[in-house]
Chain A
Amino acid sequence: MSLTWTLVLLVAALAIAWRFLGSYMAAVFEGRVQFLGFLERPIYRLAGLDRTREQTWQRYGTSLVVYSGVAILVVYGMIRLQGSLPLDPQHFGAVSPALSWNTAVSFVTNTNWQNYSGESTMSYLSQMGALAVQQFVSASVGIAVAIALVRGFSRNGSPTIGNFWVDIVRCTFYVLVPIAIAFSIVFIAQGAVQTFAGAAQVHDVMNGARQSIPRGPIASMEVIKQLGTNGGGALNANGAAPQENPTGLTNFLSFFLLLVIPFALTYTFGKMVGSIRQGIALVAAMVLLFGVWFGFTSWAESRGNPAVAAAGVRYQPGGNMEGKEVRFGVAQSVLYDVASTQTSTGSVDGSNDSYTPIGGMGLLTGMMLGEVTPGGAGSGLYTILLFALIAVFLGGLMVGRTPEYLGKKIQAREVKLAALGALVMPLVVLVTTGVAVSLPAGRAGPLNKGPHGFTEILYALTSQTNNNGSAFAGLSGNTAFYNVIGGVDMLLGRFAIIVPVLALAGVLAAKQPVPSSAGTFKTDTPLFSGLVVGVIIIIGALTFFPALALGPIVEQLVHGKFF
């Protein structure tokens, strides 16, 4: 019953935000909102920018890559040097080079994979000034790329696709910062910690317990971690930690925040290409897949934990509580974790590793769909547009004419770029998983034995390549092997998709529109949504089925056996 009301409230809140945040974002990227001009103008002046000068896709891409490179160096430098920098009340000292590499790449690529425990590794300055800064900016970069691709469709015969610097500055200050400030206040009022004071020492005379309770500027990071679909929390337990996510309300707001921008961007898309129905066709495909995955995972978890049942607790009201928090309950924890895996956020409010075999598979396959249901901030929209192009191409093959999408002819070059962008992820995941299970250094990672150990490795590399950051956290990832290979996966999963997307944006923007005729395949219909769903399922499910059979499926099927 509480789940029903939670879903009703969530859908209502997202629908309102979809309409209004969606059209606001269109106004931001079309330059129609100006109220922060006093903040923007000095930034452009300092950076030597003319905000009206746009860039070709090559220049847009170069700026993006150079900025990301500098950002990786900045994060790397700050956490390596944190021992000599201020705001380190617990005197943690430098982070090791391999871990710093992995962490810097992780936050700049919007992944937020964490091979460290925040409470015993990162100074306050590192959390705020290095990591949380990228939680804003990496989200803005993703959204900027999505907008650039949308401009490719909405412009005709244009040599340029926007200005990278202007797009990220405007996205950050007009969209992300105001929402982050408003929701931080709610989180703090609910009990999320926000202080510069160090850890609190307590001694309970009733039971003799002595504890050192970590604190810090946690709430401000928590909100942008969700809103920017980042996922990296201040503490190791992430959204399960009461200092980050203290109540049922903050839990609800967490999954609202991580879904809101990816969904709303489909409205922005519709608005910018001049037909909201085109956005509805995409959001329908997203909602359908999300709903099916949530239903399946939720059912799997409601059946309880097999090991706990075998130990004598047959009656498990609500379902599998191993690794979940009492104040959230099973159903809403599952909603959080499904939303987090399918938005490339990767924050958790419990232990994904302790999900039932096929419940955990629900989370894993949510990422394997390519992070498009609704996917990460920006990355969800640009990736589903790649799938949409493949769908119109397949539709065109069926009826035997040159496909069109949004008035643009989709020819060999466009289809090649879209296919390249869509196939990078499965290729990288499967090859690096193969490498990891072939090497002793890779096999040393898993905590759990048997098929679950294999799933831990597959999950880790799927998560990092999809820039998700969610973990089957039993895997010991802070080793030279996993730090390095994970870093490579995150870079490929981010930039090997962004570059073809920007190329596509450039090619499409330069094209002239073709008038639609009676033979044009309509892309704002349920039929088209269905075709997009089919493409997503075929690329996700068929590619990964053999790997899944070795992990969660076999684990589910061996009845009564423990590893």
Chain B
Amino acid sequence: MLLNLRRSVVISVVFFLLLGLAYPALMVGVGQLFFKSEANGQITKYGSPLIGQHWSGPKWFQGRPDADNPMATGAQNYGPKSKLLLDFSHTRVVALEKEGITPTNDLVTGSGSGVDPDIAPADAYAQARAVARANHLSVGQVDALIKSHVTDAYWGFLGAPYIDVLQLNEALATLTGTR
């Protein structure tokens, strides 16, 4: 028993030093040396392309209807037959239609992370007409902007095609000269 205790303590200390300190520190070293921007969260002066922000339309492209609070991530966790989800989705549908946007699946539903930075290409095209009108651009210009910001699935099949809303809006601001 005493021998087991002694061994448990020794092994715990060894594992703490090697797995709890050396391993993560080594990975921080590799990250900071070779992938500095990625390892630090790709922070720019406008935010991070990893983290969604709240954009009110139709002057900007909108993302998913999340809380976008990175300090409290997570989904809203409403069940599939929840009145709360029904009300939440209905409010979103009405708001989008009022702005002249056809409600799409992603623009109505909350994400898994609560900070989903992306929308699908179809969600952006659904907003093209409204965004063009609000910014005095042609629909063709906006469509071209959207097209140039689509990131395909990894190797064409891992994951799904998406558009980072922050980067799309940065490009929109450049186009309209408001940035």
Contact = CB atoms under 8 A, between A and B. Distances in A.
B154 to A, nearest CB: 4
B98 interface: no
Interface in A420-436: none
B115 A241 contact: yes
A306 B81 contact: yes
B112 A311 contact: no
B41 A243 contact: yes
B169 interface: yes
A43 interface: yes
Contacts of A5: 156-157
A188 B31 contact: yes
Contacts of A312: 89-90, 93, 103
Given A195-B28, A221-B24, A237-B73, A452 B79 contact: yes
Interface in B47-69: 47-48, 50-51, 53-56, 60, 64, 68-69
Interface string B154-167: 11111110100010
Interface string B22-45: 011011101110110011111101
Contacts of A353: 75, 77-79
Contacts of A169: 11
A83 interface: no
A211 B47 CA distance: 8
Chain B CB within 10 A, most for which of A128, A177, A207, A322: A322
A463 to B, nearest CB: 15
Contacts of B64: 326
Given A119-B73, A129-B21, A332-B159, A326 B111 contact: yes
Contacts of B34: 189
B124 to A, nearest CB: 11
Nearest to B151: A327
B69 to A, nearest CB: 8
Chain B CB within 10 A, most for which of A193, A308, A356, A472: A308
A399 interface: no
A215 interface: yes
Nearest to A4: B157
B30 A185 contact: yes
A311 B80 CA distance: 12
Nearest to B118: A326
A16 interface: no
A205 B20 contact: no
Interface string A342-353: 000000111101
Interface string B166-179: 10011001000011
B153 to A, nearest CB: 5
Chain B CB within 10 A, most for which of A241, A357, A447, A450: A241
A357 B80 CA distance: 7
A562 B31 contact: no
A247 B154 contact: yes
Contacts of B85: 305, 307-308, 322, 354
Q: Chain B interface: which size bin?
A: 35 or more
B26 A242 contact: no
A207 B55 contact: yes
A200 B43 contact: yes
Nearest to A199: B71
B39 A322 contact: no
Chain A CB within 10 A, most for which of B42, B89, B113, B120: B113
B160 A207 contact: no
A537 to B, nearest CB: 26
Contact of A447 (B7, B32, B46, B77): B77
A181 B26 contact: yes
A2 B46 contact: no
B144 interface: no
A49 B7 contact: yes
Contacts of B157: 1-2, 5-6
Interface in B84-131: 84-86, 89-90, 92-93, 103-106, 108-120, 122-123
B41 A46 contact: no
Contacts of B82: 307, 448-449, 452, 562-563
B66 to A, nearest CB: 10
Contacts of A321: 105-106, 109
Chain B CB within 10 A, most for which of A48, A188, A318: A188
B24 A329 contact: no
Interface string B1-29: 10111111111101110011101101110
B140 interface: no
Interface string A313-341: 10111101111111111001100000000
8 contacts: A67-B7, A137-B19, A194-B24, A207-B54, A207-B56, A306-B80, A327-B159, A350-B112
Q: Which 3 A-B pairs have the closest CB atoms?
A: A248-B159, A329-B160, A351-B75
Given A213-B41, A243-B50, 19 more contacts: A2-B156, A47-B14, A48-B6, A132-B24, A133-B15, A172-B19, A181-B26, A185-B30, A193-B39, A194-B28, A202-B47, A214-B71, A215-B41, A248-B153, A310-B86, A312-B90, A326-B64, A327-B160, A449-B82
Interface of B: 1, 3-12, 14-16, 19-21, 23-24, 26-28, 30-32, 34-35, 38-43, 45-48, 50-51, 53-56, 60, 64, 68-86, 89-90, 92-93, 103-106, 108-120, 122-123, 153-160, 162, 166, 169-170, 173, 178-179
